[in-house]
């Protein structure tokens, strides 16, 4: 969610742990938006209390060894090495909201470039419609091929 630099300590990243456990002393990866970086968790803090670990559901600050403030940004994911990979291409099944539902008024076509929202970041993606589909109307269910302009950490089903 956020990144801070604490003088004398280093860089702290904050956010909610989605799954698993992060422990002090463990190696972690920073995934998404930029090339994958490896670092070590040197501290976990929750509500101003230092902990040995944080677990799924906790909102924590994680102190990272040797990571500069400018090397990390909102929208990246901290994870166990190799557990999540960055992707630029995916297939999505989507329902396109219509005007009455607060969505689109007009159809869209191949090469439409909307913003996609993942966790705490947004990124532009290019939509390719499936073979034989000319356009998608508001209110349609559609399968879309998407290519993002920057890689995002994602799992199947996100």
pLDDT digits (tens, 9 = 90+) for 26-67: 999 999 999 999 999 999 999 989 999 999 999 999 999 999
Encode pLDDT of 59-71 as tens digits. 999 999 999 999 9
Domains and CATH numbers, the chain: 2-79 (2.40.30.10), 85-154 (2.40.30.10)
* CA 21 – CA 74 distance, rounded (Å): 20
Cβ-contact 120, 16 below 8 angstroms: no
CA gap 137, 130 in Å, rounded? 14
The phi and psi torsions of 142 (rounded to 5 degrees) equal -145, 150
pTM of the entire predicted model: 0.85
Q: What is the pLDDT of residues 72-89, one digit of tens each?
A: 999 999 999 999 999 999
Taking residue 11's Cβ as centre, other Cβ atoms within 10 Å add up to 21
Give the dihedral sign, CA 69/71/73/75: negative
Mean pLDDT over the full length of the chain: 95
């Amino acid at each position: 969610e956020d990144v801070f630099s604490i003088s004398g300590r280093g860089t702290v990243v904050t956010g909610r742990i989605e799954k698993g456990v992060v422990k002090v002393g463990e190696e972690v990866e920073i995934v998404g938006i930029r090339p994958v970086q490896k670092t070590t968790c040197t501290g976990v803090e929750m509500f101003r209390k230092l902990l040995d670990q944080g677990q799924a559901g906790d909102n924590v600050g994680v102190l990272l060894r040797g990571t500069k403030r400018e090397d990390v940004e909102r929208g990246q994911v901290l994870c166990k090495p190799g557990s999540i990979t960055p992707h630029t291409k995916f297939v999505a099944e989507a329902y396109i909201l219509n005007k009455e539902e607060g969505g689109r008024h007009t159809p869209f076509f191949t090469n439409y470039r909307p913003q996609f929202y993942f966790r705490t970041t947004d990124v532009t993606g290019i939509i390719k419609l499936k073979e034989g589909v000319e356009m998608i109307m508001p209110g349609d269910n559609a399968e879309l091929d998407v290519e993002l302009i920057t890689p995002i950490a994602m799992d199947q089903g996100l």
